[in-house]
Amino acid sequence: MQNIRAQFPILKRKVNGKPLAYFDNAATTQKPVSVIDALTRFYREANAPVHRSVYSLGVEATERYEEVRTEVQKFINAKHAEEIIFTGGATESLNIVASSFSEAFLKAGDTVLVGDSDHHAVIVPWQAVAEKKKLKLTFIPVADNGVIDLAAYKTLLKTKPKFVALTYISNVLGVINPVKEMTALAHKAGAAVMIDAAQSVAHTPIDVQKLNCDFLAFSGHKMYGPTGVGVLYGKKELLERMPPRTFGGNMIAEVTREKTTYAPLPAKFEAGTPPIAEVIGLGEAIRFIQKIGFKAIQKTEGELTAYALKSFAKIPELSLLGSKNAQNRIPVFSFIMCGVHPHDIATLLDREGISVRAGHHCAEVLHRRFSITASVRASLTFYNTKAEIDRLREALIRTVKKFNG
What residues contact residue 43 under an 8 Å CB cut-off, 6+ apart? 277
Candidates 35-43, 44-52, 100-108, 360-368: pick the segment binding other proteins (CB under 8 A).
360-368
**Residue numbers 334-353 binding other proteins by CB under 8 A:** 341-344, 347-348, 351
In angstroms, give the least distance from the CB of 17 to other proteins.
9
Residue 403 makes contact with other proteins by CB under 8 A: yes
Residue 398 makes contact with other proteins by CB under 8 A: no
For residue 338, indicate whether it is catalytic: no
139 vs 403, which CB is nearer to other proteins?
403
Cα separation, 86 vs 220, in Å, equals 10
17 vs 254, which CB is nearer to other proteins?
17
Cα separation, 117 vs 212, in Å, equals 21
Cα separation, 170 vs 186, in Å, equals 19
Q: Which of 78, 315, 346, 362 is catalytic?
A: 362
Q: Select the residue interacting with other proteins from 47, 273, 290, 373 (CB under 8 A).
A: 373
203 vs 360, which CB is nearer to other proteins?
360
Q: Select the residue interacting with other proteins from 119, 360, 377, 391 (CB under 8 A).
A: 360
Nearest to 384 by CA among 309, 317, 331: 331
Cα separation, 181 vs 218, in Å, equals 20
Cα separation, 20 vs 286, in Å, equals 25
105 vs 403, which CB is nearer to other proteins?
403
In angstroms, give the least distance from the CB of 360 to other proteins.
5
* Residue type at 405 in one-letter notation: G
209 vs 373, which CB is nearer to other proteins?
373
The 10 Å CB-count burial string (b at 16+, else e) for 31-49 is: bbeebbebbeebeeeeebb
**Residue numbers 79-118 binding other proteins by CB under 8 A:** none
Size of the site for other proteins (CB under 8 A): 17
Nearest to 269 by CA among 56, 96, 400, 34: 96
- Are the CB atoms for 301 and 385 separated by under 8 Å? no
Cα separation, 279 vs 394, in Å, equals 40
Chain-centre distance for alpha carbon 285: 15
Cα separation, 261 vs 60, in Å, equals 27
Residue 402 makes contact with other proteins by CB under 8 A: yes
Q: Site map for other proteins, 15-54, x if CB under 8 A?
A: -x--------------------------------------
Cα separation, 164 vs 142, in Å, equals 15
Cα separation, 391 vs 386, in Å, equals 9
Burial class (CB in 10 A: 0-12, 13-18, 19+), 405: exposed
Residue 374 makes contact with other proteins by CB under 8 A: yes
Residue 299 makes contact with other proteins by CB under 8 A: no
**Residue numbers 279-298 binding other proteins by CB under 8 A:** none
* Residue type at 155 in one-letter notation: T
In angstroms, give the least distance from the CB of 127 to other proteins.
16
Residue 367 makes contact with other proteins by CB under 8 A: yes
Residue 359 makes contact with other proteins by CB under 8 A: yes
16 vs 40, which CB is nearer to other proteins?
16
Binding site residues, other proteins, CB under 8 A: 16, 341-344, 347-348, 351, 358-360, 364, 367, 373-374, 402-403
- Residues acting as catalytic residues: 362
